[in-house]
């Protein structure tokens, strides 16, 4: 008699379900690589500047982040999403405590990375906590609340990147936190309209909205006011300052990682430039980094890896 294997991620998108049998490490790593290379974001592009032996580890970490996010955002029912994230947290615990029981390709691949790179559990657990918070908190009173959210939603990613490359100096991680928080904020300001329409989330600080005379009704109208544009301009300026405060990290790591970090930082600056280019009208449209700007980003990262245009020079 064949036993029925429990589907622990029941209710998740079909492509994220746990397989009935444990994949091999090679199969799990291939799954993570395919996820990284098929997604619309640029994480996998940045890893191309890293030494080849490190790439499977970056793919595994990326896959964990991507699936965690999708379990929170791609499930319409918040009750189901909360249950799935709790199960995902239990599967993370299993990966650390009883890895032989893991069946999901993310955790089969991630276990190898955890062992090879001596990764602590906390950054992974913090990421899940951010997505759990998304299910219950949709408004933010101050910019400090946005930054506190980023401690869980963004900063762990930077820490994991540094851990993967062998950097554990707290001073470097503090610089990474500046970069990651700023990147998270830039994404908030870029996606104001989309977050409101699709997720009923408003990351704009409510005290800034009050300062500039912007109401939630104004946001729901989809039409930007002078107050809205003034608020976005101020928030983007502060975010740019924070992003540049983290940029010295680029000068304190090896050239391969420096190329990747420079690409992340330039990408954040490019988002802020794109917001300015549409006069901060991010309610009615989503600013996009154009192809010319993207090519410049890749060229700059490539030159950085070659030791030309090294480090944080020229960022502004």
φ, ψ at 202 (rounded to 5°): -125, 105
Q: What is the pLDDT of residue 303?
A: 44
SS3 of residue 194 by DSSP: helix
pLDDT of 241-290, one tens digit each?
999 999 999 999 998 899 889 989 999 999 999 999 999 999 999 998 75
Output the DSSP codes for 160-182: HHHHHTT---HHHHHHHHHHHHH
Q: Where along the chain do the CATH 1.10.600.10 domains lie? A: 21-136, 137-309
CB count in 10 Å sphere of residue 22: 17
pLDDT of residue 295: 40
Topology (CATH) of 137-309? Farnesyl Diphosphate Synthase (1.10.600)
Q: What is the CATH number of domain 21-136?
A: 1.10.600.10
pLDDT tens digits for range 271-280 = 999 999 999 9
Nearest alpha carbon to residue 224 among 193, 199, 245, 253: 193
What is the structure's pLDDT at 310? 55
Answer yes or no: is pLDDT of 13 > 90. Answer: yes
Count of CB atoms situated within 10 Å of the CB of 285: 12
User: Which region among 5-14, 50-59, 304-313 has the lowest average model confidence (pLDDT)?
Assistant: 304-313
Q: Please answer whether residues 196 and 250 qualify as being in contact, where contact means their C-beta atoms are separated by less than 8 angstroms.
A: no
Across the chain, which distance is largest between two alpha carbons, in Å? 70
Helix (H, G, I), strand (E, B) or coil at 102: coil
**What's the pLDDT tens digit per position in 173-227?**
999 999 999 999 999 999 999 999 999 999 999 999 999 999 999 999 998 999 9
Instruction: Please give the average per-residue pLDDT across 133-157, as a whole number.
Output: 97
Cα gap 289→41, rounded to integer Å: 12
Residue 299 near residue 291 (C-beta atoms within 8 A)? no
pLDDT band with cut points at 50, 70 and 90 for residue 313: low
The pLDDT of residue 306: 43
Q: Please give the pLDDT value at position 1.
A: 41
């Amino acid at each position: 008699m064949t036993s029925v294997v429990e589907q622990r991620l029941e209710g998740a998108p079909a492509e994220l379900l746990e397989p009935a049998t444990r994949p091999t490490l090679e199969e799990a790593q291939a799954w993570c690589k395919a996820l990284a290379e098929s997604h619309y974001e640029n994480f996998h592009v940045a890893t191309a500047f890293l030494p080849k032996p490190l790439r499977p580890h970056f793919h595994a970490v990326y896959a964990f982040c991507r699936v965690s996010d999708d379990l929170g955002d791609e499930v319409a029912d918040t009750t189901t999403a909360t249950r799935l994230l709790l199960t995902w947290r239990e599967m993370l615990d299993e990966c650390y405590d009883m890895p032989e029981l893991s069946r999901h390709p993310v955790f089969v691949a991630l276990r190898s990375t955890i062992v090879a790179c001596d990764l602590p559990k906390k950054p992974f657990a913090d990421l899940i906590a951010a997505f759990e918070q998304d299910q219950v908190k949709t408004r933010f009173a101050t910019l400090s609340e946005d930054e506190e959210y980023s401690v869980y939603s963004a900063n762990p990613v930077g820490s994991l990147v540094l851990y993967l490359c062998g950097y554990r100096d707290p001073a470097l991680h503090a610089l990474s936190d500046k970069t990651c928080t700023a990147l998270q904020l830039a994404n908030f300001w870029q996606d104001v309209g989309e977050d409101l329409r699709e997720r009923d989330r408003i990351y704009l600080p409510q005290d800034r909205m009050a300062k500039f005379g912007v109401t939630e009704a104004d946001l729901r109208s989809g039409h930007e006011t002078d107050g809205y544009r003034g608020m976005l301009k101020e928030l983007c300026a502060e975010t740019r300052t924070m992003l540049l405060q983290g940029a010295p990290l680029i000068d304190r790591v090896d050239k391969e990682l420096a190329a990747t970090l420079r690409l992340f930082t330039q990408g954040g600056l490019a988002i802020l430039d794109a917001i300015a280019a549409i006069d901060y009208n991010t309610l009615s449209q989503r600013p996009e980094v154009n192809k010319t700007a993207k090519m410049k980003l890749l060229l700059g990262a490539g030159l950085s890896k070659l030791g030309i245009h090294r480090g944080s020079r020229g960022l502004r």
